[in-house]
Copies of this chain bind each other. A is one copy, B any other.
Amino acid sequence: MSFNSFGHLFRVTTWGESHGPALGATVDGCPPGVPLTPEDIQVWLDRRKPGQSKYTTQRREADEVEILSGVFEGETTGTPIQLMIRNTDQRSKDYSEIAEKFRPGHADITYWQKYGIRDYRGGGRSSARETAARVAAGGVARAALAQLAPGMSITGYMVQMGDHHIDRARFDWDQIDQNPFWVPDAQAAEDWATYLDGLRKSGESVGAAIEMTVRGAPAGLGAPIYAKLDTDLAAAMMSINAVKGTEIGDGMAAAALTGSANADEITMGPDGPVYSSNHAGGILGGISTGQDIVVRFAVKPTSSILTPRATITKSGEETTIVTKGRHDPCVGIRAVPVGEAMAACVMLDHVLLHRGQIGQNRGRIG
């Protein structure tokens, strides 16, 4: 309902700017009794942390999470969990050159127009640093899901960088953690390294597409109208900085399908319905089918680049801009753990909502 909160029963409010003393997430509605330590959260933050490879910003943030409330003797209490991450590397001088100019393709200008505030040091709330708070909240969601839906796993990976796509025939879950791009295709990982090196050296940036698969989600999560599971997943992804599109299952490609091609045929397996395919991405009519849930989103390239671009200043004068700060040539890389975290929050929220309204699935098959 409010501007910086997300979720129905499991509700996350992120706060903080990239150049203030700290940022974090206020997490409300977590069930009590979930084992939770800072390390459980840190492991996910470390995946998003900048400066881990030459392909991400060289800003060095420890991104160390502190749990200020809501956990007692190693377990959640059911009350708000405050997660705080201190900002430790805020070299404001890097931004001095752009204090008066707007970066084309960046929120600088709209933010200024709306709020009349220009936190030129790092974009204020439009900084990608805000996503660290999401990853921390996602860590809480994962811990709770481990209790409430123990078979569920959420895995994100890149499927496209610029005009390079993965080869689905080479898809290998085990590769995802083996390369700096979270790409499930060893060959792509190699090719993309070369490609991105070139872009980085020329001060360019590039977009990306990230896919997430939720395995082991039970059938029945979601609702048919505005609390559709896919609506909430799409909103969660679209709320991430720089995301311009989001898809469930076949996504935009569904526009090209015929009805007979799109129909995921159903047979009866030992444990319930079995589907011949998954065009639906695991969601029909806003409600999960029990198949893998497949969500995809596209991230635009960073607007902070070395190529000079025409722009204007706050006083309305025309000029050009080159952004020299420490930026990611492909922000899509670090968007992978962010997308996973948002998916985790949505899945937990729907597990709780379903339990609240329905209790457990009411319609049996067979």
Contacts and interface: CB of A to CB of B under 8 A. Distances in A.
Interface in A1-44: 1-9, 11, 13-17, 20-24, 26, 28-29, 31-33
Given A14-B225, A69-B17, A235-B234, A263 B115 contact: no
A104 B124 CA distance: 47
A365 B204 CA distance: 28
A183 interface: no
17 contacts: A15-B26, A15-B82, A22-B69, A77-B115, A77-B119, A78-B115, A108-B285, A109-B289, A113-B362, A114-B220, A114-B358, A117-B363, A254-B300, A255-B332, A259-B303, A266-B310, A273-B312
Interface stretch (A47-55, A57-65, A171-179, A315-323): A315-323
Interface in A246-291: 246-268, 273, 276, 279-281, 283-289
Given A68-B16, A223-B3, A248-B245, A105 B262 contact: yes
A255 B208 contact: yes
Interface string A202-241: 0011111100000000011011111110111011001101
Contacts of A5: 2, 5, 11, 13, 28, 226
Contact of A224 (B125, B262, B285): B125
A117 B273 contact: no
Contact of A363 (B113, B225, B230, B259): B113
A224 B366 contact: no
Contacts of A223: 3-4
Given A75-B117, A247-B245, A125 B1 contact: no
The range of chain A's interface size is: 35 or more
Interface string A283-318: 111111100000010111111110101111011111
Number of this chain's copies in the assembly equals 4
A180 interface: no
Contacts of A8: 1
Interface string A63-104: 000101110100101111110100000000000000000111
Interface string A119-135: 10000111000100000
Select the residue from A104, A244, A311, A358 with max chain B CB neighbours within 10 A: A244
A252 to B, nearest CB: 4
Contacts of A109: 266, 273, 284, 289, 365
Contacts of A249: 244
A24 B364 CA distance: 31
B265 A17 contact: no
A193 interface: no
A349 to B, nearest CB: 10
Kindly list the 9 A-B residue pairs having the minimum CB-CB distance in the complex, ordered from nearest: A107-B285, A316-B366, A356-B356, A116-B362, A205-B259, A245-B251, A110-B287, A15-B80, A104-B263
B303 A262 contact: yes
Contacts of A115: 32-33, 77-79, 358, 362-363
